[in-house]
Structure 1
Amino acid sequence: MNNDSVATAYTTVDGQYVHELEIKRSRFITYLRRVESEGQARALVAELRKKHFDARHHCSAFILGADRTAMRSNDDGEPSGTAGIPMLDALAKRETASGSADLSDIAAVVVRYFGGILLGAGGLVRAYSESVSSTLEAAPLLRRERLRILGVEADYAAAGRLENDLRSAGVQVLGTDYGDSAATLRVALNDDATILTGFNDRLATLTAGASHAEDLGTEWVDVR
């Protein structure tokens, strides 16, 4: 994933999701999986070729990167343009809860078991598009945001209470690291000066000035 990306948020699938449609006796089994590289996307195709070794087609499409800089598709033996491209369009044009088409780091593979009835070019386009679209309708999705990460040091005795207080205030705490002499809470905030100032003020109030936030840079964070 490109950490210098202009994008600050996007949507991806939460792990893997599988959905099946039957269209004119053909079975279309769609797998959606979160991936972060072309290698992972191709590994999914290889995995499903082994699992569904008796299927006629294993068509695929994937989108990678916060700015969706990599988009690929493969018809895997179906007539050119009737499978991979409709699948990719279904991913690329899907509007999410963000109100925009921002799916990325996602791979789709449609495994087709031929049912003996030819669908024709138009029928294949609709079948592969519908297979991915209907799977997206049911799949669990999550937001990824590029957030400012702060490290907040606290005494062992105070760390648990401080974490609870911050979570109660709506602050995303990624976890707590325990060192030799103190604990460090890793906190994620929107990279906005006003929000950072507000957090520092809240932290000073909660700890009576005993804890301070150290800027650890920015990271991509799953926001559920």
Structure 2
Amino acid sequence: MAESYLTIKNRSEGLYKEKGSKFLSFAIPVSHIEEIKDILKDYRKEFYDARHVCYAYMLGADRDEFRANDDGEPSGTAGRPILGQINSRNLTNILVIVVRYFGGILLGTGGLIVAYKQAAADALDHAEIEERQVECAHKIHFDYPQMNDVMRVLKEENASITDTQYTDGCTVYFE
């Protein structure tokens, strides 16, 4: 298992234009798949009028959980080039989203690959990369009436809470 990993410190943005199409790119630090799903849902709502919302992510200090999504673009022309930019910088715990507004001129598969690659690269070029030490991350799921007891124990143990979710129960992520 890796002792440290590279990730980005804060969100960053990029832009690439080609033949009237605009590619807005966003690099976002993330820590788990549920967070990624929520972020993607928010971006799809915000950019509801965009033709495509493509993305790639990499999770885990060992970089063993990843996905690339073309969102209707020809297979391998969007998600894979985005993931390639994440890999070229050896980053993890990151989500890169590229939103495409179609400009009326088809770019072809080669043009799409270059455009998504350049858009992702621009967002990553604007990001501050940092090295982090691996900490042991945990998740606990419990019923709402147990909230006070769980939070008290976590505080007593000096645990760092990284996220909380309230759905059919409570889920707390901590290190």
TM-align CA RMSD? 1.9
Per-residue Cα deviation, 1:113-161 (whole angstroms, up to 9, x for no partner) = 00011000010011101111122112112211137xxxxxxxxxxxxxx
Alignment match, 1:84: 79
Decide whether the 8 Å contact of 2:55 with 2:68 is kept in 1: yes
Amino acid of the residue matched to residue 136 of structure 1? L
Gapped regions of structure 2 (runs ≥ 5): 136-173
Shift of 1:24: 1.2
Gapped regions of structure 1 (runs ≥ 5): 1-5, 95-100, 148-218
Per-residue Cα deviation, 1:16-67 (whole angstroms, up to 9, x for no partner) = 1111121111110001111011121122211111111100000010000000
Alignment match, 1:61: 56
Per-residue Cα deviation, 1:78-102 (whole angstroms, up to 9, x for no partner) = 01110001111111122xxxxxx3x
| Residue correspondences, number | 139
Amino acid of the residue matched to residue 125 of structure 1? I
Amino acid of the residue matched to residue 27 of structure 1? K
- The structure with the larger Rg is 1
Alignment match, 2:131: 143
Report runs of 4+ in structure 1 exceeding 2 Å deviation.
none
Instruction: Map 1:1-224 onto structure 2 (within 5 A).
Output: 6-94=1-89, 101=90, 103-146=91-134
Amino acid of the residue matched to residue 62 of structure 1? Y
Give the TM-score normalised by structure 2: 0.75
- Cα distance in 1 for residues equivalent to 2:123 and 2:4: 22
Shift of 1:107: 0.2
Decide whether the 8 Å contact of 2:20 with 2:104 is kept in 1: yes
Give the TM-score normalised by structure 1: 0.59
Percent identical among aligned pairs is 41
Q: Highest relative contact order (Cα 8 Å, sep 6+), 1 or 2?
A: 2
